[in-house]
Amino acid sequence: MTAAPPHGHLHQEVPSDDPRVQLDEAAGVFEPVPPYPPRTEREAEFYTLGDGEMFINMGPQHPSTHGVLRIVLKLDGENVVDLDPVLGYLHRGVEKLCENSDYHHSIAYLDPLEYIASLFCEWPGVLAFEKLLDVQVPRRAEYIRVLATELNRILSHSMFIGWMALDLGGLTPILYGLIERDEIAEMLGALTGQRLLYNYLRIGGVNGDLNHEFMSRLGDWMSRATTQIEANTTLLNENEIFVRRMRGLGTMDKETAFRMAMTGPNLRASGVPLDFRRAHPYSVFPELEFDIPTREEGDCLARYLVRIDEIKQSLRIIDQVIHNMPDGPVIAKLPRLLRPRPGRAYAAVEGPRGQYAAYVISDGTDQPFRMRIHDPSFVHLQAVGVLMPGHLIADAMAVMASLDPIMGGVDK
Amino acid sequence: MTAVARSWSRLTLAGKILFTVVPILLVLTAGLLLVIVLAGKPIVDFLAANMWLVRFVVAATAVLLMSVPSAFLIIYMEMKVIALMNLRIGPDRVGPFGSLLSVVHGLKVLMKEDFSPTGADRLVFTLAPVVVYMSAVMSLLVLPFAPRIFGADFNIGLLYLFAIGGLTVVGLLMGGWSSFNKYSLLGGLRSAAQVISYEIPLTLSVVGLLILAGTMSLNQLSINQSGWFTNWYVFQQPLGALIFFIAATAEANRTPFDLTEADSEIVAGFATEYSGMRFGFFFFAEYVNVFVVSGLIVTLFFGGWNAPFAWPEAWAIHLNLDPGSLGMGLLFGLLLIPPILILALAAPFYVGRSSLPWWQALIIGFVLFNLLVIVLIGGWAFISLDWVAGLLWFLLKSYVFVFIFVWMRGTLPRVRIDQLMGFAWKWLLPASLLNLFVTALAVIVISPR
Amino acid sequence: MDAALKRRLEARFGDRLTAPVYQRHDETEIRIGPGDVPDVCRTLHDDADFRFILLADVAGVDTGTVMQVVYHLWGDTSSDWLRIVADGLSREDPRVPSVTFLWQGAEWMEREAYDMFGITFEGNRDLRRIYMPPDYQSFPLRKDFFLPDDAARSPGAGVRHMEQSHAPRNARPGETMRKVRA
């Protein structure tokens, strides 16, 4: 067995007369950026420095990347010329893990994908399993699912407002967002037993019925939710500095949005009123009344305002759900050992970031054969490569924050 | 290991500090006493002949010593006030309400590892924080804290201040360039661009004031604003005051102009590679700068050390006391009055709460006695001595502006570098020129000479 | 179950479909050979009676016998999800043309399929590993992947129990692999 290659180096030999290599040796220091030689056409194009350009590495540890993300920026002074995101720091092999566990257990693996919106990560998996098994979910369970997931949506959007302001330099709105998040987390903790990774949805229903503590906390919060959210957002909406920095930044028109396979608020901020709760209804959404907030501009400010409007619509939905909650069981009766018949199923839901989906292939055994998870943050993060070049670094961070990626979902 | 080494290693950190510092202090004191005894008179004669030397040493020491506690206080204030604005608690562990936080931070940065990154220019890397800190401290030299309390009274005091402010940017650039780090470079260049752009509106906005006052000496400007608060220059130069406030925020690298240390974009800007006391110097220098800028705004536009109303001379209580005339009564008074007052103040607590041990009641009495004395003497000094009153008014007004700076930091997001430069060159500069022209015109029309 | 969609698909692509159009619940599935992917996708994207402009997902599948690439599309002319299965890719050298010319957002999804399965997407300008480190040797989601594949080649191989191969000693991937007809 040959000696293992030193860590971090490719196996190929590096020719020593290349001017880039000689520059590194002359500087005598470790210039960590380009993998050499380039493996693809795009890498070659990116890792060739023009005149006066430099690489800066916003590494996996950085105060403002939303998790562990490494972005190699090619800068000309302060202008971003090009960028190359490097992923995989949080890759946990969820799809492989789901293949080796049975259907009931794989739901718990789906939670930590997007840990802020974990109910939305479980839901498409559960829906796909229910399609394979032809399970009828009781109406009360569907209503509880909608209630819990809309609360999760509000939690996610409140945190988004905080992160957006934090990346622009305001220190206070994140703490106001955390107040909202804390209250909703306590509520969902009373309902599901967990504050962050709920593991609440089950095949055929939900894990437990509503309880008194949850309902009292919910009623208490709903009575002041509107004013509280109004107060949190007014600080930013009417702030000249905030608005001036976000208006006209990172504009994405409809064609670009569809080309980048965007969904969710990022797409709706570009003028496309596409919401899978209305366009491809699932669960009990046909019976609920809510609007789809859409904005035409497609810049960062539009993406921010769309999410605020969505919070208000979610409050409307929660109101209707509470008032129309039917009685009945909260889970369908299913055997513990599930063997769906061989087949394929695809299910998608509309989450706070966009389309969360799952494609499940069953081979008749008690383990899924293939569990493909589609996560919106993964797809949306490609848009930074399209939107960021041409802006300054400060704007680059604002653009990335406005797309709202969560690295758990990006890296699966 | 020798016995000394073994004993040394058994000491705690506090013990080590004590056993190092105290012998050194004793030796120094003994040496000083020896010098005084042996050569006291010639030294005193020499100093009396060269009073400027004494004044220089005293001013420099006072300014250096004064900068540290004010930085400590502002650091603590920033953390606590921003925390309260964020609806959280902030520091509350070290000391009552966390007030000893800055002291602990200061000790912490002293104890950190001292390194410089590979490839960094060692000399420049080490000097950069010194330059930044010294320029902040030198600005304190000309601020008039009270009628006769200031470091030096240049008649070009304002010009001196602006020159020193330009020195800060040299230090920031040194720090950014010598760190051998692209983030630091970006931060240093951003700060250089920012400070240079805002120097011009800063200077021009004050020229109108200078035309009205006719002097650049800060002490004289404070004297000119005595009397009622309507004498304050802010009412004669409102636009100039506003422009100065905004430009001063940018000079001090405070939010919304704090791109140099924008920690969500370029980690810590020019200070990314600094740690330990070097970073401590940058950190302190920023807060001393905040204090300097607040003090400057107060001196120039808000009356300096003057009270908002004319302080009537009649209020001063002149105690024409000759200690010699009191005789033995003074001795008995000094020996008997404090214990009697302590007991008198402790008695209600001892009698009223049966569970309080007598020594705790005495401690409470002692603390209350001290407070009483401070209030009485302080109150007398405030009323009668103009320099005490002036000092307190100056500090109060300065800290109001420090609070405003901290408030802005907790509330506002950051502007972008091109928006910042555009604002300085396209808005503040013409506005300050307009201010200057209108003031000059008004002076010519109203009181031609 | 959109019967009208089924008729339109059969009318348009009849000769290229390798299996009948399959519909279940709210999904419509067509199977094509890998070489037909660009044409079919372009037709479905541009044509007025299809207009499937939203690419929902690109997934790789290893059925144990063949590899597949599965595309999910959505459009407002139909109430169904449209699933396109590019079937019949060999397990030794799976190749399929890329759809990045239509949807640039497919770039990373194809990179992920490459990283996990080894499927080469011809025409993707940036086909390199996305999750695994650049010098990783195997493709994790393939059915013949034994976990400590690459760890076996590391300097610390065999030191900790996780790095020892847990595959049965006489395992031959072809026999103990899971397979599905899907």
Segment B188-207, tens digit of pLDDT: 888 888 888 899 999 999 99
- Write out pLDDT tens, residues A210-250: 999 999 999 999 999 989 888 888 888 888 888 988 888 88
In this prediction, residues C111-138 reach a mean pLDDT of: 88
Question: Is A163 part of any domain?
Answer: yes
Distance CA A398, CA B265 (A): 10
User: What is residue B267's predicted lDDT score, i.e. its pLDDT?
Assistant: 60
Q: Counting every residue, how long is chain A?
A: 412
The structural domains of chain C, ordered by start, are 3-122 (3.30.460.80)
Same domain, A235 and A160: yes
Mean pLDDT of A96-100: 88
- Among the listed residues A392, A387, A389, the one whose alpha carbon sits nearest the alpha carbon of residue A405: A387
Same domain, A13 and A130: no
- Among C103, C112, C125, beta carbon nearest to A40: C125
Average pLDDT, chain A: 86
Amino acid at B37: V
Q: Total domain count for chain A?
A: 2
Residue A49 lies in a domain: no
pLDDT at position A316 is 93
Cβ pair B410:A179 closer than 8 A: no
Global pTM? 0.83
Q: What is the ipTM of this complex?
A: 0.88
**A23 close contact with B: CB closer than 8 A:** no
Residue span of the structural domain in which A155 resides: 94-411
For A63, the token pair is: 């105060």
Ordered by start, the domain boundaries in chain B are: 101-310+412-446, 315-384
CB of B173 less than 8 A from some CB of A: no
A138-142, A369-373, B189-193, C177-181: which has the minimum mean pLDDT?
Answer: C177-181
Least confident of A182-191, A216-225, B101-110: B101-110
**pLDDT confidence band for B24 (50 / 70 / 90):** very high
Which residues from C are below 8 Å from A374, CB to CB?
A: 56-57, 59, 72
Question: Do chain A and chain B touch with ≥3 beta carbon pairs under 8 Å?
Answer: yes
Does residue A46 form part of some domain?
A: no
Residues of C in contact with A344 (CB under 8 A): 27, 29, 83, 182
Least confident among A255-259, B82-86, B309-313: B309-313
Is position A52 within any domain? no
Which residues in chain B have their CB less than 8 angstroms from residue A29's CB? 118-119, 180
Question: Given a cut of 90, is residue B240 above it in pLDDT?
Answer: yes
A411/C81 Cβ within 8 A: no
pLDDT greater than 80 at residue C163: no
3-state helix, strand, coil in chain A (%, to 5): 50, 10, 40
Phi/psi at C29 (nearest 5 deg)? -125, 135
The average pLDDT across B241-250 equals 93
pLDDT in tens, B410-434: 888 888 888 888 999 999 999 999 9
B81: amino acid identity, one letter: V
Of A405, A402, A400, the residue nearest A58 (C-alpha): A400
Asked if residue A361 belongs to a domain, the reply is yes
Over range B212-224, report the average pLDDT: 88
- CATH code (residue A283): 1.10.645.10
Per-residue pLDDT of C39-64, as tens digits, reads 999 999 998 888 899 999 999 999 98
A84 is a domain residue: no
Query: Which residue has better confidence, C169 or A147?
Result: A147
Q: Looking at the domain assignment, is residue A48 inside a domain?
A: no
A239-264: b (≥16 Cβ within 10 Å) or e: bebbeebbeebbbbeeebbbbbbbbb
Instruction: Calculate mean pLDDT across residues B407-411.
Output: 89
Higher pLDDT, B290 or A248: B290
- Per the rule left: phi > 0, alpha: psi between -120 and 50, beta: everything else, A141 is alpha
Kindly state whether residues A173 and A265 are assigned to the same domain.
yes
DSSP state letters, A129-151: HHHHHTPPPPHHHHHHHHHHHHH
pLDDT per residue over A148-164, tens digit each? 999 999 999 999 998 89
Q: Report whether C87 contacts C32 (CB < 8 A).
A: yes
Residue-wise pLDDT tens digits, A29-48 = 444 455 566 778 888 888 87
Instruction: Tell me whether A179 touches chain B (CB under 8 Å).
Output: yes
More confident residue, A153 or B66: A153
* pLDDT, tens digit, 9 for 90 and up, residues A108-121: 999 999 999 999 99
For the cut 70, the answer to whether the pLDDT of residue C151 exceeds it is: no
Picking from C77, C81, C126, C132 by the largest number of A CB atoms within 10 A of its own CB, the best residue to mutate is: C126
Give the residue from A353, A248, A239, A236 showing the smallest Cα distance to A299: A248
CA angle B268, B269, B272 (to 5 degrees): 55
User: What is the CA B191 to chain-centroid distance, rounded?
Assistant: 22
Residue B378 has pLDDT above 70, yes or no: yes
Average pLDDT, chain B: 86
A4, C104: Cβ pair inside 8 Å? no
Q: Is the pLDDT of residue A5 over 70?
A: no
Contact flag B264-A64 (C-beta cutoff 8 Å): yes
